C-alpha cells in the first residue's frame, strides 16, 4: 500500500500552538546569613522568606483567522503523524524549520529531498514499532502450531493442514479458480467469508496474496485445506486497514471447488 508522505512544511500549526510559552521562574531569594547578636546571650533570627511561585503556562487562544488556520493545519497533520506512530517531536526544531521555510529567512539545514528521506525512514521505524506486538504474537503461534502432526510447513513458512483431500487436478498460478473460504485473525475474528455471503468466489491465483498463490496450488480440486499464513505472505507490515492490522498472521479455511480456466 502506498502512502502519501506529508512534508514537514505542512506542520506550520504545531510550532505556533504546541510550544507552550512559559514565564521564567523567579530565582529564590538567598537565605539570610545569621548574624551574631551584640550581646553574648541572644542570636538574631533569620528573616522569613516567601517561597517562589512556579512558572505558569499561558492559555493559548485563537484570536483571528490566521490563528485558526495555523491551528487547523496542526491538528490535521499532527493527527496523521500520530496515527503513523510518531509520538513526540523536538518542537523547537520544528518551529525553526517552519519559520525558515514560510518566512524565507535563515538557511535550511537540509534540502527537501533529504527531509523526505528522513521522514520516510522514521515513519517506517515507527510503523514497525507499532505492529511489533502483532508480529511477535503471530510468530509465537506459528512456532507452536508447527509442532502439531497434522500441520505441514513449507520452505516459505506457510503452514497448512488437510481437512479433506480431493482427487482432482491441482491448479497452476496462471489458472482461475473457484473457491469457498473463511478468513480470520489469530484471535478467531472472521474478517471475510464467501460462505457467509453464500456465494463462492473466482480469482486468478497469481493475483492474490502470496500465501494463497502458494497454498491453493497444493490442493487437488475437491480438497479443503486450512492455511496459516505468516504476515510476510499475507498483507505484510501495512496490513489492510481497518480490517486487517499490519503484521497480522492470517488463518484461511479454503475449499477448492473448480479450476475455471
Is it true that the peptide bond before 242 is cis, omega within 30 degrees of 0? Answer: yes
Same domain flag for 164 and 240: yes
pLDDT for the residue 35: 37
Same domain flag for 29 and 100: yes
CATH number for the domain spanning 156: value is: 3.10.50.40
Rounded average pLDDT over 192-206: 91
In a domain, 189, yes or no: yes
Greater pLDDT, 153 or 81: 153
In a domain, 66, yes or no: yes
Contact 251, 186 (CB under 8 A): yes
Pairing of strands 201-204, 250-259: unpaired
Question: Of 109, 132, 165, which residue constitutes the final position of a domain?
Answer: 109
pLDDT for the residue 86: 86
In a domain, 142, yes or no: no
pLDDT for the residue 232: 94
Confidence of residue 45 (pLDDT cuts 50, 70, 90): low
Same domain flag for 30 and 89: yes
Contact 30, 93 (CB under 8 A): no
Q: Which residues form the catalytic set?
A: 181, 191-192, 209, 235, 252
In a domain, 137, yes or no: no
> pTM of the entire structure?
0.62
In a domain, 249, yes or no: yes
In a domain, 60, yes or no: yes
Same domain flag for 181 and 100: no
DSSP 83-117: HTT-----HHHHHHHHHHHHH--S--SS-HHHHHH
Same domain flag for 157 and 253: yes
- Distance CA(167)–CA(55), nearest Å, equals 80
pLDDT for the residue 95: 86
Question: Of 52, 78, 109, which residue constitutes the final position of a domain?
Answer: 109
Residues 6+ apart with CB under 8 A from 42: none
Confidence of residue 212 (pLDDT cuts 50, 70, 90): very high
Same domain flag for 101 and 23: yes
Number of domains, the chain: 2
**Cα within 13 Å of Cα(113), Cβ side:** 0
In a domain, 126, yes or no: no
- Helices H, strands E: what count in the chain? 6, 7
Residues 6+ apart with CB under 8 A from 82: none
Q: Which residues constitute the domain of residue 223?
A: 152-259
In a domain, 39, yes or no: yes
Contact 70, 12 (CB under 8 A): yes
Same domain flag for 19 and 95: yes
pLDDT for the residue 84: 80
Amino acid at each position: 500500500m502506498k502512502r502519501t508522505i506529508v512534508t514537514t512544511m505542512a506542520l506550520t500549526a504545531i510550532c505556533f500552538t504546541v510550544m507552550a510559552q512559559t514565564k521564567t521562574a523567579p530565582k529564590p531569594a538567598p537565605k539570610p546569613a545569621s548574624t551574631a547578636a551584640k550581646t553574648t546571650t541572644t542570636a538574631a533570627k533569620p528573616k522569613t522568606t516567601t517561597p517562589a511561585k512556579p512558572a505558569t503556562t499561558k492559555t493559548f487562544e485563537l484570536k483571528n483567522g490566521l490563528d485558526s488556520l495555523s491551528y487547523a493545519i496542526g491538528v490535521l497533520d499532527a493527527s496523521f503523524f500520530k496515527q503513523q506512530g510518531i509520538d513526540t517531536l523536538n518542537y523547537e526544531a520544528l518551529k525553526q524549520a517552519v519559520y525558515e521555510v514560510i518566512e524565507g529567512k535563515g538557511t535550511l539545514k537540509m534540502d527537501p529531498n533529504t527531509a523526505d528521506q528522513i521522514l520516510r525512514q522514521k515513519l517506517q521505524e515507527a510503523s514497525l514499532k507499532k505492529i511489533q506486538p502483532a508480529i511477535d504474537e503471530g510468530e509465537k503461534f506459528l512456532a507452536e502450531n508447527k509442532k502439531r502432526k497434522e500441520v505441514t510447513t513449507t520452505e516459505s513458512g506457510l503452514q497448512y493442514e488437510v481437512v479433506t483431500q480431493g482427487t482432482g487436478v491441482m491448479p497452476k498460478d496462471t489458472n482461475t479458480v473457484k473457491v469457498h473460504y473463511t478468513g480470520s485473525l489469530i484471535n478467531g475474528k472472521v474478517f471475510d467469508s464467501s460462505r457467509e455471503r453464500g456465494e463462492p468466489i473466482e480469482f486468478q491465483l497469481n493475483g492474490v496474496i502470496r500465501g494463497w498463490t502458494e497454498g491453493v496450488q497444493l490442493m487437488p480440486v475437491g480438497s479443503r485445506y486450512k492455511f496459516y499464513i505468516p504476515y510476510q505472505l499475507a498483507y505484510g507490515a501495512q496490513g489492510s486497514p481497518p480490517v486487517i492490522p499490519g503484521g497480522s498472521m492470517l488463518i484461511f479455511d479454503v475449499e477448492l471447488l473448480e479450476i475455471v480456466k
